[in-house]
Amino acid sequence: MTGSTRSSAPAVPPRTLVWVDAARAIIVRWDGAAGIEWLVSEVPARRRGGGHVTHDSALRAMGSRPANGHRLEHLRQHLRQVADRIDPRDDLEVIGPGTVRERLAALVVEDDRVHRRRREVRTNPSPPLSEPQLVARIRATAGASAPRGRREGAGAA
């Protein structure tokens, strides 16, 4: 007899769910149980113009850098760090607001192409979600049933 506590139910293939924006990423991996990892980025805040600005098209042509060039380099580094943490064998769903999720999905798909890997990579818009919401989402995607039982403190009187 082994020390394993897993049941003899059919194995659910491993999956990864990533919620990502420019500030952070939450990676949830499901291989029969959820594993959660947080990554905080060093992407600086987006610079926005303040007040009235006169635009001179000649300035851009003279080689001035785009206003958010430094930010975009940090974003590329952040997405590379996230992509490196994703198991290449797992099907992947990338969610989050804006276009950062699409950039991450494109990076993963390109890595898979270069390394001749095949897997499902999906992307969907999503507002910020809590850890329990992310775990419930990946559990449902994996086809695993929710745990049964009483929560601590529930019904204690």
Is residue 89 included in any domain, yes or no? yes
Residue numbers of the domain that contains 32: 15-45+67-141
Looking up tokens 């989402």, which residue turns up? 137
User: Is 111 strand, coil or helix?
Assistant: helix
Give the strands of the sheet with 121-125, arranged side by side: 34-40, 24-30, 15-20, 91-96, 121-125
pLDDT at 95 over 50: yes
pTM of the model: 0.73
Is residue 22 included in any domain, yes or no? yes
Is residue 123 included in any domain, yes or no? yes
Q: Where are the beta strands (DSSP E) in 66-139?
A: 91-96, 121-125
Q: What is the pLDDT of residue 70?
A: 81
The C-alpha atoms of residue 45 and residue 32 are separated, in whole angstroms, by: 37
Strands 15-20 and 24-30: antiparallel
Q: What is the pLDDT of residue 141?
A: 85
Give the up-direction half-sphere exposure of residue 38: CA atoms within 13 A in the CB hemisphere.
6
Report the CATH number at residue 40. Answer: 3.30.420.60
User: Is 78 strand, coil or helix?
Assistant: helix
Is residue 57 included in any domain, yes or no? no
Is residue 147 included in any domain, yes or no? no
Looking at beta carbons, which pairs linking 65-73 to residues 24 or more positions away fall under 8 Å?
70/44, 71/43, 71/44, 71/45, 71/46, 71/47
The C-alpha atoms of residue 82 and residue 40 are separated, in whole angstroms, by: 10
Q: What is the pLDDT of residue 72?
A: 86
Q: What is the pLDDT of residue 51?
A: 55
Count of Cβ atoms closer than 10 Å to residue 112 Cβ: 15
Is residue 153 included in any domain, yes or no? no
Q: What percent of the chain is predicted at pLDDT more than 70?
A: 71
Residue count (the chain): 157
DSSP designation for 92: E
The C-alpha atoms of residue 111 and residue 25 are separated, in whole angstroms, by: 19
Q: What is the pLDDT of residue 49?
A: 58
Residue 157 or 150, more confident? 150
How many domains are there within the chain? 1
Q: Where are the beta strands (DSSP E) in 11-117?
A: 15-20, 24-30, 34-40, 91-96
The band of 5, judged by pLDDT with boundaries at 50, 70 and 90, is: very low
Residue 51 or 123, more confident? 123
Q: What would the two tokens of residue 79 be? A: 């997405």
pLDDT at 10 over 50: no
What's the pLDDT tens digit per position in 110-137? Answer: 999 999 999 999 999 999 999 999 999 9
